Structure 1
Amino acid sequence: MTKILLVEDNEMNRDMLSRRLTRKGFEVVIAIDGGEALDVANSESPDIILMDMSLPVIDGWEATRRLKADEKTCDIPIIALTAHAMTGDREKCEEAGCDDYDTKPIELKRLLEIIQNQINRVS
């Protein structure tokens, strides 16, 4: 079973997305800020990380940079989840180390395709 670390500070978004992913057969672990994301990524060894970029404590940009710089977590695909959909935002996510990008509001079918592409890429 594929384990997904969902990093999302908005409780409603977090609950809705985690339930939907669980129904699709994923194991979902949760972090509510960037600092917690670093801890959970190290302790749970997820297969993929869904990273909200606007987070408290440590934002998604910095959490991604730290995860990609860490030998233990650098190979975990990170998908940016962001309401930032302006020109250059995708590039900013990629520069931080994200492997892919999806915009909010989340369209589950589109997100599942992105997740599957990342799983296929690393397997």
Structure 2
Amino acid sequence: MKKVLVVDDVPVNRKLALAMLKKRGWQAEEVDNGAAALERLSAGGFDGVLLDISMPGMDGEEVCRRIRADGRFAGLRIVAYTAHAMEFEKERILSAGFDSIMIKPITMSALQSALPD
């Protein structure tokens, strides 16, 4: 079973992602900010991260850059989880180190594409 960390400052967004992940048979945990995400990831055991871009404090792009700078997370799949859908935004987001982007509201098919089994 795979394990994913859902990082979003909006509770309803986290709940939707958690429900979809659990429906796929994955374990999921949630945090509501970037600093908490980095702390939780340090404990290890995650296969992927759904990471919101627009959060107060440390935004998702900064969190992603910090994760990528840490060799312990070399194989971690990081998916941007955002409402930002403009082409220039997608390019900037991917250049921060994300593996893929899911546009909110997410669907089961988008989740399966972004986090394959």
* TM bucket, shorter chain: over 0.9
Unaligned runs of 5+ in 2: none
How do 1:44-83 residues align onto structure 2 when only pairs under 5 Å count?
44-83=44-83
Partner of 1:112: 112
1:98 aligns with 2:98: yes
Deviation at 1:87, TM superposition (A): 1.9
Deviation of residue 2 (structure 1)?
0.3
C-alpha contact (below 8 Å) 1:79/1:102 kept by paired residues: yes
Deviations 1:11-32 (A, max 9, x none): 0111122022112100001111
Q: How far, CA to CA, are the matches of 2:44 and 2:69 in structure 1?
A: 18
* 1:103 CA drift (Å): 0.7
8 A Cα contact 1:45 1:73, kept in partner: no
Once the two structures are superposed, what CA deviation does each residue of 1:80-119 show, in whole Å capped at 9, x if it has no partner? Answer: 0110001211211111110111111111212212210xx5
Report the TM-score, using the length of structure 2 for normalisation.
0.93
Which 4+ runs in 1 deviate beyond 4 A? none
d(CA) in 2 for partners of 1:17 and 1:102?
11
3-state SS of 2:43 partner: helix
Q: 1:102·1:111 contact (CA, 8 Å) conserved in 2?
A: yes
Q: Residue type of the partner of 2:32?
A: I
Identical amino acids, percent of aligned pairs: 33
Aligned-residue CA RMSD (Å): 1.2
- Unaligned stretches of 5+ in structure 1? none
In terms of mean alpha carbon deviation, does 103-112 or 46-55 score higher? Answer: 103-112
SS at match of 2:72: coil
1:28-63 CA distances to partner (integer Å, 9 max, x unpaired)? 011110111101111133101111111122110100
**SS of the residue aligned with 1:44?**
coil
Map 1:35-46 → 2, pairs under 5 A:
35-46=35-46
